[in-house]
Amino acid sequence: MPIPTELVGSLPRPMKLQEAYEDYDQGKIDFDQLKAEQDEAAEDSIKRLEATGSPIVTDGEQRESSFATYPITDTLAGTGLADNLAGDGQYFAIFDDGHHRQLPRLTGGPFRYKTFASEFVEKNKRIASHDVKQAVIAPSMLMLLYPLEEEIDGYSRDQFLADLCDEVEKDIRQCFDAGAVRVSVDFTEGRLANKNDSRNPWTGKDMLDEFIALNNQVLDRFSPEERVNIGIHTCPGGDCDSVHSKDVPYEKLLSKMFNINAGYFLIQCASEDDKEKVYKLCGEHRRDDANGVSQKCFMGVIDPLTPDVETPEQVRDDLLKAAEHIGAENLGATDDCGFSPFSRDVKPAHGSPDFARDVAMQKISARLEGARMASEELGI
Ligand SMILES: [Zn+2]
């Protein structure tokens, strides 16, 4: 079987769609008008991905406020926030360029999703002729909705975590039921967990083991056959062409991440200074038997944060080197991150989000061609 390849999930939102989100926040258009813009951009994403030959497509997350907040708010400004939440929660991340993203704060129970990702899968299945995947958010991210130190009156942390795991399980199952062939779980907080950023207290609380245990609480509800198609995505962040945790030594995460009983991993690597070190760590720590599944490593061969388009030859060479350490049979190819995980992102290094969409398609084409060339060279 040739090296399997898929994107993480998101694509830049066209400027027209970003303006529609803004107009919706300001009450200039209603939700149906916003939805029409989202649907148009989603359809364009699918069509353009299919034109590259991508075997698996997404809608580029055009209908999502962000990869992390789609279940609980319609926009990043907090329009359409779910029940029992307020806007002023913890920083999810402070990025290297100085901007930050903030999560809502839980004010009481019960915690319930207002939007499940299967809603997008259903719509995308009606448009796509190729297989559809969906990215969902990890429980380890949404556990940060609960205040870091204090308990909420009448809604204990334990009760919240139990409710959260139920919602995430439902989110994943419903995506498969709606026809997704794969579901990947975004785990960008993994590397950030060892950041020790004094401006962002949760990153100094050594929460990685807790994150992994919580994610396994959900994954362990799925059979090995199901988990073959459940992935985990790790990256040092990717927003407004900036990162949040690339300075955290990767081995702190990679030595533990494969304890998550997922079948495959989408692993940022193209933007690392020492890629071979990452291949070695992955080869060393991936497991042939993670509670019944053999773990595949989809290595990032494309950097979505720069407008420089990788060549197929670069992709091929990276994958051949990775195969030496990971084994061709355990190898896949992906991008380092989604191309725009948050709905408001003008892609400053690219000049505009519309140009960044064009660049993304060129990069994805290079990944596909490079993976094909590597497979040929490996005789698989
Ligand atoms: Zn990412």
Q: Which of 105, 115, 128, 103 is nearest to 42 (CA)?
A: 128
233 alpha carbon to ligand 1 midpoint, in Å? Answer: 7
Report the separation in Å between the CA atom of 225 and the middle of ligand 1, taken as the mean of its atom positions.
25
Q: What is the pLDDT at residue 119?
A: 98
Residue 340 alpha carbon to ligand 1 centre in Å: 9
Mean pLDDT estimate for the chain: 98
110 cis-preceded (ω within 30 degrees of 0) = yes
Band (7; pLDDT cuts 50, 70, 90) = very high
Q: 28 C-alpha to center of ligand 1: Å?
A: 32
Which region, left, alpha or beta, applies to residue 80 given φ > 0 means left and ψ of -120 to 50 means alpha?
A: left
Q: How far is the CA of 237 from the centre of ligand 1 (A)?
A: 5
Of 238, 120, 227, 210, residue with least CA distance to 171:
120
Confidence of residue 1 (pLDDT cuts 50, 70, 90): confident
- 341 Cα to the center of ligand 1, angstroms: 7
C-alpha of residue 339 to centroid of ligand 1, in Å? 8
State the average pLDDT over residues 72-98.
96
CA distances from 319 to 8, 126, 281, 376 (A): 17, 34, 15, 12
CA of 379 to the centre of ligand 1 (A): 31
Find the 154 Cα to ligand 1 centroid distance in Å.
35
**For residues 313 and 293, what is the distance between their CA atoms, to the nearest angstrom?**
31
302 CA to middle of ligand 1, Å? Answer: 12
Give the mean model confidence (pLDDT) for residues 1-29: 97
CA of 236 from ligand 1 middle (Å) equals 7
Distance between Cα 325 and ligand 1 center (Å): 23
Range list of H helices, the chain: 15-25, 31-52, 118-127, 139-142, 157-177, 189-192, 208-219, 224-227, 250-257, 275-285, 312-326, 353-378
What spacing in Å lies between the alpha carbon of 266 and ligand 1's midpoint? 9
Q: What is the pLDDT of residue 288?
A: 98
Give residue 167 CA to ligand 1 midpoint distance, Å. 22
Given a cut of 90, whether residue 214 has pLDDT beyond it is yes
The alpha carbon of 33 and the centre of ligand 1 are apart by a number of angstroms equal to 29
Q: What is the pTM of this model?
A: 0.98
Tell me how far the alpha carbon of residue 3 lies from the centroid of ligand 1, in angstroms. 21
pLDDT at residue 204, rounded to an integer: 96
Q: How many CA atoms lie within 13 A of 64 on its CB side?
A: 29
CA 335 to ligand 1 centroid distance, Å: 9
Average pLDDT over residues 97-103: 96
- Give residue 27 CA to ligand 1 midpoint distance, Å: 31
| 316 CA to centre of ligand 1 in angstroms | 22
CA 121 to chain centre: 15
CA of 358 to the centre of ligand 1 (A): 19
Q: How many whole angstroms from 269 Cα to the centroid of ligand 1?
A: 11
Distance 253 CA to ligand 1 centre (A): 14
Spacing, Cα 115 to ligand 1 middle (Å) = 21
pLDDT, tens digit (0-9, with 9 covering 90-100), for 311-348: 999 999 999 999 999 999 999 999 999 999 999 999 99
> How far is the first Cα of the chain from the last one, in angstroms, to the nearest whole number?
5
Q: What digits encode the pLDDT tens for the residues 271-308? A: 999 999 999 999 999 999 999 999 999 999 999 999 99
Looking at residue 183, its pLDDT comes to 98
Cα of 290 from ligand 1 centre, angstroms:
23
The predicted structure's pLDDT at residue 95 = 97
Q: What is the pLDDT of residues 31-82, one digit of tens each?
A: 999 999 999 999 999 999 999 999 999 999 999 999 999 999 999 999 999 9
* Centroid of ligand 1 to alpha carbon of 77 (angstroms): 21
Question: Rounded to the nearest whole angstrom, what is the distance from the C-alpha of residue 34 to the centroid of ligand 1?
Answer: 25
C-alpha distance from residue 106 to each of 137, 147, 208 (Å) = 17, 7, 21
Ligand 1 centre from 251 Cα, in Å?
Answer: 17
Predicted confidence (pLDDT) at residue 184 exceeds the cutoff of 90: yes
254-263 per-position pLDDT tens digit: 999 999 999 9
As a whole number, mean pLDDT of residues 139-167 equals 97
Contacts of 44 (CB under 8 A, 6+ apart): 14
Query: From ligand 1's centre to the CA of 234, what distance in Å?
Result: 6
